[in-house]
Amino acid sequence: MNRSARDLASLIRRKELSPVEVVRAALDRIDARSELNAFITITADQAMDAARKAESEVMAGGILPPLHGIPYSVKDLTLTAGVRTTMGSAIYEDFVPKEDAVAVARSKAAGAILIGKTTTPEFGHKQVPTAPIFGRTLSPINPRYIPGASSCGAAVAIAAGMGSLALGTDGGGSIRIPASCCGIVGLKPTLGVVPHLQAPDLFSVNSFVGPMARDTADTALLFDVIRGFDSRDPYGQCQMPAGRSAPLTLKGVKVAWLPTAGNPVDPEVASITEAAVRLMERQGAIVEVVNLDFVALERHFLVVLQSMLAARVGANLERFGPRLDASLIDTVMKGRQLSAVALNEAGFAKTQCFAKLQALFETFDVLVSPTVSAPPLPVDMDVSGDIEIAGKPAGTVRGAWYPYTYPMNLTGHPALSMPCGHSAIGLPIGLQLAGRWYDDGYLLGIASLLEELLKP
């Protein structure tokens, strides 16, 4: 199942490959790599029924939707009608939604076939791929290192060949970080471009549904299916602007290169991401180093995260406490101690960061940085403790390892992670590209050009 979704769709249309064969192969691969623990729920029977129906539609002739017969997975934070959606938590262990999330409904309408719900830490609250109800998800690259989170199962499924496409969610980097750790592509869209109606507060949403795939073209294929306005979303009241057209070449593209955001960077990550940027420069891009202190935003991001989880989960602590992740309980307890003043101060900081990025994008076309500041971290890392980078104490996981990602959640700007190399021991290293609002397609275009240049 390492064929692209584009190839599979073409073969299905030409009747050279059956949707039944494609879905069966994906399910077999899930079974063959069960030790990776990428799925909470596998929808084998439903998927095979849908595949047989898709096959009959192929044989009947006529126009087929773009993802007809293509298997895909959905992170278990995202609603799927008739298929349990646990949020990775005992609180929702038996919850079966009646409606699909918008992105799921659009994927289904495009012909995609759901093969299962992928793993996530409880409510996506941490970067360690564990939860009491499913255990630990392992990296398909090297099980001694984490695959990233919280869209851990989605990234592992794609990297291990359990389907070509996945829907993840990103509340602070949760698509981009596992994409970087597993050597795939993941896009956090512009705020409102992919409606996310599950958020309890649609006016202050920081979590995004986005596509994940092995390359930029498949990522763009799924993105084109799920994007578009929805009047139920405060940020989707009218047709979305098209954004700029993807560039045909990198010549003249103005790149803001952010090697550090106020954090230490592993030498291998620094060298490999810098090499990718200089490769862009040799193709005619105009590169300038910029300075942004994203580490200073960490405390405000934590206020948003902790207060939200305290409000959303806090009422369940007494009933479910012994069955919940200790780090989730700790997050909720910290959120309960926060004041309305602190939450408003976080809002002020979000606004200031948005203004800085808007000013930057008046000069530059794209902001490029490492996705994370070090290769994937060891599996025994302490999610609540400090980490080491290049053997030296570096600070907290969020502030030291992924300060590049969570600012884009606070401001709504689109951002993607793409592979750009490997460490000396073979761990993937990702490059983040961020851009102006509605420039999702433009970012995918730049990433596609760089992807071609990076091919061995």
Q: Which amino acid is at 53?
A: K
Q: Interhelix angle for 5-13 vs 19-32, to 10°?
A: 150
Taking the CA atoms of 262, 266, 269 and 272 in sequence, report the sign of the dihedral they define: positive
Q: What are phi and psi of 388, to 5 degrees?
A: -110, 140
Within-domain flag for 328: no
Within-domain flag for 306: no
Q: What are phi and psi of 254, to 5 degrees?
A: -95, 115
- Residue 96 neighbours by CB under 8 Å, 6+ apart: 82, 83, 84, 85
Is 150 catalytic? The answer is yes
Query: 285 and 356 share a domain?
Result: yes
| Parallel, antiparallel or unpaired: strands 415-422 and 428-434 | antiparallel
- Please name every residue paired with 169 in a beta bridge, in sequence order, or none if there are none: 209
CA distances from residue 156 to 148, 246, 371, 390, 411 in whole angstroms, order as listed: 9, 29, 17, 25, 28
Distance between CA atoms of residues 201 and 456, nearest Å: 45
pLDDT in the model for residue 390? 87
Query: 392 and 448 share a domain?
Result: yes
- Residue 63 has which token pair? 């126009």
Query: 393 and 287 share a domain?
Result: yes
CA distances from residue 279 to 214, 234, 389, 414, 451 in whole angstroms, order as listed: 21, 40, 26, 23, 11
Distance between CA atoms of residues 399 and 412, nearest Å: 19
Within-domain flag for 237: no
Q: Which amino acid is at 282?
A: R
Query: 183 and 271 share a domain?
Result: no
Q: Is the pTM of this model over 0.95?
A: yes
Which residue of the set 89, 151, 174, 369 is catalytic?
A: 174
Query: 292 and 184 share a domain?
Result: no
Distance between CA atoms of residues 157 and 37, nearest Å: 9
Name the nearest CA neighbour of 104 among 121, 81, 84: 81
Q: Interhelix angle for 340-363 vs 298-313, to 10°?
A: 130
| Parallel, antiparallel or unpaired: strands 286-289 and 254-257 | parallel
pLDDT in the model for residue 238? 86
Within-domain flag for 353: yes
Within-domain flag for 83: yes
Query: 206 and 58 share a domain?
Result: yes
**Whole domain around residue 355: which residue ranges?**
254-299+337-454
Query: 53 and 121 share a domain?
Result: yes
Name the nearest CA neighbour of 114 among 152, 64, 154, 160: 154
**Total domain count, the chain:** 2
Query: 201 and 266 share a domain?
Result: no
Query: 75 and 213 share a domain?
Result: yes
Distance between CA atoms of residues 201 and 303, nearest Å: 15
Distance between CA atoms of residues 221 and 164, nearest Å: 11
- Please name every residue paired with 433 in a beta bridge, in sequence order, or none if there are none: 368, 416
Is 339 catalytic? The answer is no
Within-domain flag for 317: no
What is the DSSP secondary-structure string of 16-71?
SS-HHHHHHHHHHHHHHTGGG--EEEE-HHHHHHHHHHHHHHHHH-S---TTTT-E
- Residue 336 has which token pair? 């309960």
pLDDT in the model for residue 1? 64
Query: 81 and 118 share a domain?
Result: yes
Q: What are phi and psi of 411, to 5 degrees?
A: -105, -15
- Residue 167 has which token pair? 């829907």
Within-domain flag for 146: yes
Within-domain flag for 26: yes
Query: 293 and 199 share a domain?
Result: no
Residue 399 maps to which CATH number? 3.90.1300.10
Q: What pLDDT tens digit does each residue of the chain (456 aa) get?
A: 689 999 999 999 999 999 999 999 999 999 999 999 999 999 999 999 999 999 999 999 989 999 999 999 999 999 999 999 999 999 999 999 999 999 999 999 999 999 999 999 999 999 999 999 999 999 999 999 999 999 999 999 999 999 999 999 999 999 999 999 999 999 999 999 999 999 999 999 999 999 999 999 999 999 999 999 999 999 988 888 888 888 999 999 999 999 999 999 999 999 999 999 999 999 999 999 999 999 999 999 999 999 999 999 999 999 999 999 999 999 999 999 999 999 999 999 999 999 999 999 999 999 999 999 999 999 998 888 899 998 889 999 999 999 999 999 999 999 999 999 999 999 999 999 999 999 999 999 999 999 999 998
Distance between CA atoms of residues 165 and 9, nearest Å: 12
Name the nearest CA neighbour of 421 among 268, 279, 295, 232: 268
Distance between CA atoms of residues 150 and 50, nearest Å: 28
Distance between CA atoms of residues 349 and 176, nearest Å: 22
Which residue of the set 18, 73, 75, 108 is catalytic?
A: 75
Query: 142 and 279 share a domain?
Result: no
369 sits in which H/E element: strand 366-370
